[in-house]
Structure 1
Amino acid sequence: MSSRRPPRRLSEDDLAIWRQVAKSATPMHAVRPTASPAPTAPPTSPQGGRTQPPESLPAFTIGQAASYDRSKGHNLSPTLETRLAAQPVRMDQKTFTRMKRGKLRPNRKIDLHGMTLDRAHPALSRFIIAAHADGCRLVLVVTGKGRTHRDDDGPIPTPRGVLRNQVPQWLRMAPLGALVLQVTEAHKSHGGSGAYYVYLSRRR
């Protein structure tokens, strides 16, 4: 049967050394001064010129509620409408203008509204490939607009309408990207923001 050793006690000399070390040590959680430090000169670049000082942050206290202007929103990337509008026109400009005004009648139409992503993707692929093989130039892809109201978007922006945001990406990817010339939001007479015009390249 093993016996436990009694705890070792520090001698008076050890205690004296410990007290000296404790006096010279800096506490890990020292109380920070409330006054702001004196401003320092802006840093200089290797060429000797002064660099642009960083933007100053507004003053705050611990526990203070953050102010947030909901009218500004918090999107971290351009909207879907902005990205589509920024795409270069790869088709005839006159035909593109007529298409945007709803003056062209789509040759075919597919309605993906209500489908899950795993059903919608292959359905869209089959539709575009078949339409291109049959010589169609303009087709209409209906996605729906998605939810029209959200109580709270939360800290991370959530795109409105999963299919509405996903379809343009699928149309840029292989194998559909080689068959598609232009994707743009449909005219209100053909579904508006809940549908897309897809202009296909000529069959070879």
Structure 2
Amino acid sequence: MRKPRHLSQEERALWDRVAERAVPLHPKSDKPTPDIRPAPKPKRQVAPRAPLTAFEVGQKANAARPHDVMRPLVDRLAAAPVNMDNKSFGKMKRGKLKPEARIDLHGMTLAEAHPELIAFILGSQAMGRRLVLVITGKGKSRDDGGPIPTRHGVLRHQVPQWMALPPLSGAILQITPAHLKHGGHGAYYVYLRKSR
């Protein structure tokens, strides 16, 4: 154990001078210290609840309402901002611009279509193409009536999502449904960025 160190005479004199000038934080007074504890909160009264009326799960559900909670794909693409020249965009939507290349994913599975789409888009950009056509088909109605609904036109819905993700998102400037003469809602115009 360490021995306590005693102050020298100079240190003691210095300490006394400092202590004389110090102002106490709480000066001593004759008044008793007030009780600073908070007053107890009164207990909250809970009103009794009315009993629940009888109900069945799903009784207010609208069976005619579609299961898809997202806006239709055509509406989402139409609401997307225009990232290219407005004049060229108008011509493209009216079918006045001719696609420089096309890929037909029609009839492929998702596993087959995805790598084909990536290779086509990135290859087209590398070749300097600006407008290409991606054909997905409108899709068949294959709802088997099960508890989980089957999406109509799986490729048609999946392809724009793939194009919004890397590596394709960096190559694409604009996506819009094709004009009727190029396939209508079963195809997409894809306007590519200039390759660097």
TM-score by length of 2: 0.67
Contact 1:144–1:195 (Cα < 8 Å) also in 2 = yes
TM-aligned CA deviation for residue 162 of structure 1: 1.3
Q: Distance in 1 between matches of 2:183 and 2:90?
A: 17
CA displacement, residues 61-113 of structure 1 (integer Å, 9 cap, x when unaligned): 45x88365444323222221122112110001111111111111000000001
TM-aligned CA deviation for residue 176 of structure 1: 1.1
Question: Does the alignment pair 1:83 with 2:76?
Answer: yes
Aligned to 1:189: 181
Going from structure 1 to structure 2, the CA distance change for 1:153 and 1:82 (only over 3 Å counts) comes to: farther
> Paired residue for 1:200, among 189, 192, 196?
192
CA displacement, residues 117-145 of structure 1 (integer Å, 9 cap, x when unaligned): 11111111111111111111000000111
Going from structure 1 to structure 2, the CA distance change for 1:187 and 1:148 (only over 3 Å counts) comes to: farther
Going from structure 1 to structure 2, the CA distance change for 1:149 and 1:70 (only over 3 Å counts) comes to: farther
One-letter amino acid of the counterpart of residue 99, structure 2: P
TM-score by length of 1: 0.64
Identical aligned residues as a percent: 51
> Paired residue for 1:120, among 113, 116, 119?
113
Going from structure 1 to structure 2, the CA distance change for 1:147 and 1:94 (only over 3 Å counts) comes to: same
**Which structure: larger Rg?**
2
Contact 2:144–2:150 (Cα < 8 Å) also in 1 = no
> Paired residue for 1:173, among 150, 160, 165?
165
Contact 2:106–2:136 (Cα < 8 Å) also in 1 = yes
Give the aligned length: 148
Q: Distance in 1 between matches of 2:122 and 2:181?
A: 25
Q: Distance in 2 between matches of 1:197 and 1:153?
A: 34
Contact 2:128–2:195 (Cα < 8 Å) also in 1 = yes
Gaps of 5+ in 1: 1-35, 39-56
Q: Distance in 2 between matches of 1:127 and 1:189?
A: 22
Runs of 4+ with >3 A deviation? 59-62, 64-72, 148-154
Question: Does the alignment pair 1:159 with 2:151?
Answer: yes
Answer with 141-150 or 86-95: which moved more: 141-150
TM-aligned CA deviation for residue 184 of structure 1: 0.8
Gaps of 5+ in 2: 1-48
Contact 1:76–1:157 (Cα < 8 Å) also in 2 = no
Q: Distance in 2 between matches of 1:153 and 1:198?
A: 35
Q: Distance in 2 between matches of 1:148 and 1:200?
A: 31
Q: Distance in 1 between matches of 2:145 and 2:107?
A: 23
Q: Distance in 1 between matches of 2:146 and 2:190?
A: 30
